[in-house]
Chains A and B, each alone.
Chain A
């Protein structure tokens, strides 16, 4: 019996991180619910044991149901019949198995039928599901919408919608429109208050909506007539039972074929307002997007893990020139790089999840009692860190998953190009991760703030650099310090031009330099708890140093005047 949690020791390693004690303490509010719910945790050890047991269930279902179904789900895909999306047979089976095991709405409070899971184990579950089937992971992962309703909705709204998640309700977030993709401020779908029926009515078109025929949909719409920007947008909940939606079609996609991507037409669709008017984009969707980006990062790591395992297996089994191909430097280098990148992106994933956990848990505590001044400072500190780490993570993880899937297919040679091996599906599935929930280019736009504000530098210098490491690996620290100096110098050079476009031009290079330094430190820190990370840290820092040097070389050697040669001008 395959188990995608217990067959991967790196997961447990990240689950039992020392910072969990604090996270769980805050999340469980000093274990206050233990006498109210027979499945509430008694203390820290009990909670950690509980997370692990639940992740074992996720690993079991993924290894024995979702993973084996992935191929047929990819081949069958969902179909549109009588204005209803019918999932592939395997998708139905997957969803039912997870619902039956109580694994929908995991992060919701117990009051609403949830398990009150912090982000770390919840994100881990998302990683495991994605390894089994990245397309299905979207359908499961959209339970994130519950979190948004929980965070911003009224009590009435919460009572109406939240308990449905644990019973298996599916969800969708309807943001994109034909003319509003990356630029959500341009959303046109209209929301108008119907005085007679005392409800909001939605009218308009949404496009590229994952799981568009979900039972519960969060819809971004223009509630303020005559406005043109993000401040005129509000967030609504639409309930499928109102049957006021036409599904025009299901898109035919390159990958994640099991996940239905729909074009929707709302016709006088009744809907309920989430939170306050005008906060739709600027507050709620921004928050929803942040957790969705964490979700895509988890999905990327899961895809990478799946790709790597396929490649490793193939390289061990396939013989050429009289021996398994894994013994050739060209192949083992690819494999080792994949493995090290997976460890690096995974460390960044759970570091970010911990930051999100701490600040969100402080927010929940603050609803019960006033935070002490130092608690409030911590909340702010971790919120800032989460804000700059999330886009960096999404950028790095999704790009890595594409690189890893590319190399995994390459290891298979000609066989990888055929439909005979799972790697071709994984390769297609990986491609979306650097596009949706904000393209890599948009992640850079968000992450560059971490560069210019000094937030990345701050945590590198004030926290990571202060760590001491095992003597046998401590020699790597000066390398990272030098890389940091180099990074700082580049940032100063670009900033000195005082030209926003120039900063944008070098932004990706600078963000990636910061990412490399941060991941280098994280692996080094990990090696304090687990010896095998010493190897990973050494290999990673070696590659990262060379990459950063190349970027630094380009930045320092670049003349701002040459930007014109790169730019496309309409008149040229």
Chain B
């Protein structure tokens, strides 16, 4: 994953180890796009979590908002707190039911959402996914910020955000923890690295990926929840017997748009299995077992022996 840390391309970025003072000048009409993914909740894994072939059994796990995408949403919402006329648009790629996480984001303050959905996307790896997402983002141009979670808990690749930036030809700031300042055309972001933090600045537009150390996402807002609880995508409206069909017509903000391959203008060859160079070679089941324990007495001899052993196997020292 070190690759993601390399900062490059047209807009020269400079790294500075100064901590920027909070400096948020109000920006008019700031447009923020948040990339989010609906994932199986791998944190609450039961016995049916994996299928016999070693792949994730999505049906057995509850679908949730990918945790670091919630951090990404919170970063976006904080920008909006300081710039009330900013807009936040969520894009998610997945099956029709992924509209759930768009609603979830709306309940917290997002303004609009798109589900990029099509059977032809099925089987897409990170490269094909970032291709599709970058096309969707282009459709929404001009935009200022694209914020995504660092990685999704179902794949842990951390590739989609950086690949989207590459495809859009704009800079990227990964591992973001806090947006420390936002002025016209320039943004400063604090990054959480293995051995510390650094603050970097970039021009905009820019792709930011949020680290789990970024602030936790706020809870739903009562008014937005009541306002958007009838938000539905077209396929949801077709699938279920909805009582409020007329509502989405009268209140267009309640319609969650769905974009197909044609809508984003994608080349089918670059999607799905044909557009995905990643191949799963082998899946190993790793079972953690405890090894036998050793009982030591509190004598100097035993303690010295243990110290030696720990130094030899590099546990300490």
Contacts and interface: CB of A to CB of B under 8 A. Distances in A.
Nearest to A55: B222
Nearest to B81: A100
B226 interface: yes
Given A38-B251, A42-B244, A97 B226 contact: no
Contacts of A49: 229
A45 B230 CA distance: 12
Contacts of A103: 222
A13 interface: no
Given A38-B251, A42-B244, A45-B243, A57 B222 contact: yes
Interface in A21-48: 38-39, 41-42, 45-46
Contacts of B227: 38-39
A41 B226 contact: yes
B218 interface: yes
A57 B251 CA distance: 24
B218 to A, nearest CB: 5
B100 to A, nearest CB: 14
A100 B223 contact: no
Contacts of A39: 222-224, 226-227
Given A38-B251, A42-B244, A45-B243, A100 B218 contact: yes
B220 interface: yes
Contacts of A42: 244, 247
A16 B226 CA distance: 18
B270 interface: no
Nearest to B109: A100
B221 interface: yes
Nearest to B244: A42
Contact of B223 (A45, A60, A115): A115
A49 B244 CA distance: 13
A56 B104 CA distance: 13
A53 interface: yes
Interface string A170-208: 000000000000000000000000000000000000000
Interface in B224-255: 224-227, 229, 243-244, 247, 251, 253
Contacts of A41: 226
Nearest to B220: A57
B80 to A, nearest CB: 12
Contact of A100 (B221, B225, B244): B221
B218 A115 contact: no
B269 interface: no
A396 interface: no
Contact of B225 (A46, A57, A97): A57
B105 to A, nearest CB: 15
A534 B226 CA distance: 35
Contacts of B219: 57, 60-61, 97, 100-101
A101 B221 contact: yes
B209 to A, nearest CB: 24
A101 B217 CA distance: 12
A115 B222 contact: yes
A15 to B, nearest CB: 16
Contacts of A422: none
A255 interface: no
Nearest to A106: B222
A54 interface: yes
Given A39-B223, A115-B223, A101 B218 contact: yes
Contacts of A45: 243
B292 to A, nearest CB: 28
B111 to A, nearest CB: 12
B251 A102 contact: no
A102 B226 CA distance: 11
Nearest to A98: B219
A230 interface: no
A53 B223 contact: no
Contacts of A60: 219-220
Contacts of B247: 42
Nearest to B218: A100
A109 interface: no
A301 to B, nearest CB: 22
Contact of B226 (A54, A100, A101): A54
Interface in A84-123: 97, 100-103, 106, 115
Interface in B181-234: 218-227, 229
Contacts of B251: 38
A101 B223 CA distance: 8
A259 to B, nearest CB: 23
Given A38-B251, A49-B229, A54 B243 contact: no
A53 B218 contact: no
Which residue of A49, A56, A60, A100 has the most chain B CB atoms within 10 A of its CB atom? A100
Contacts of A101: 218-222
A420 to B, nearest CB: 28
B222 A102 contact: yes
Contacts of A115: 222-223, 226
Contact of A54 (B218, B222, B244, B253): B222
Contacts of B224: 39, 102
A297 B227 CA distance: 31
Nearest to A53: B225
A312 B243 CA distance: 42
Nearest to A97: B219
A53 B226 contact: yes
B223 A102 contact: yes
A50 B227 CA distance: 9
B71 to A, nearest CB: 15
Nearest to A103: B222
Contacts of B229: 49-50, 53
B70 to A, nearest CB: 12
Contacts of B226: 39, 41, 50, 53-54, 115
A332 B222 CA distance: 40
A521 B45 CA distance: 45
A36 to B, nearest CB: 13
A40 to B, nearest CB: 8
Which residue of B223, B225, B251 has the most chain A CB atoms within 10 A of its CB atom? B223
Contacts of A38: 227, 251, 253
A61 B220 CA distance: 9
Nearest to B229: A53
Contacts of B243: 45
Contacts of A53: 220, 225-226, 229
A103 B218 CA distance: 13
Interface in B15-47: none
Nearest to B253: A38
A329 to B, nearest CB: 36
Contacts of A50: 225-226, 229
Which residue of B225, B226, B253 has the most chain A CB atoms within 10 A of its CB atom? B226
Contacts of A56: 220
A33 to B, nearest CB: 12
B61 to A, nearest CB: 15
B221 A102 contact: yes
B225 to A, nearest CB: 5
Nearest to A65: B219
A523 to B, nearest CB: 32
9 contacts: A38-B251, A39-B226, A39-B227, A50-B226, A50-B229, A53-B225, A60-B219, A102-B222, A102-B223
Q: What 6 A-B pairs come out closest when comparing CB atoms? A: A102-B222, A39-B226, A39-B223, A39-B227, A50-B226, A38-B227
Given A39-B227, A53-B229, 19 more contacts: A38-B227, A38-B251, A38-B253, A39-B224, A42-B244, A42-B247, A53-B226, A57-B221, A57-B222, A60-B220, A61-B219, A97-B219, A100-B218, A101-B219, A101-B220, A102-B223, A102-B224, A106-B222, A115-B222
